[in-house]
Amino acid sequence: MVEKTIELIGISSNSIEDAVQLALARAGVTISGIHYAHIEDISATVENSQVTRWRVALKASFVVKDQLHE
C-alpha cells in the first residue's frame, strides 16, 4: 500500500473543529478515501481582544490507488 499526504488549511469563525471539518470536506470533493488527519498548527485571528477566526493547518493522508481506471 502507498499513501499520499497533503497539507490543508481550514479557516472558520465558529470553532477549531469546524475549521478541520471544512478543510477535509473541501478536499474530499476531489480526493476520495482520506482516512487520516494530523493537526500541525492552530492559530487564531484576534480583533478587539476576541477570537474572530480559527486557522488550522493539517496533513491528510489517503491511499494511492493501484489502477488508473477503477
Average pLDDT for the chain: 94
| pLDDT score at 65 | 84
At a CB cut-off of 8 Å and minimum separation 6, what does 63 contact?
Answer: 1, 2, 3, 33, 35
Domains of the chain: 3-63 (3.30.1660.10)
The residue among 63, 23, 15 whose CA lies nearest residue 40 is 23
* 69 pLDDT tier (thresholds 50, 70, 90): low
Distance CA 18, CA 42 (A): 12
Per-residue pLDDT tens digits for 25-59: 999 999 999 999 999 999 999 999 999 999 999 99
% of residues, the chain, pLDDT over 70: 96
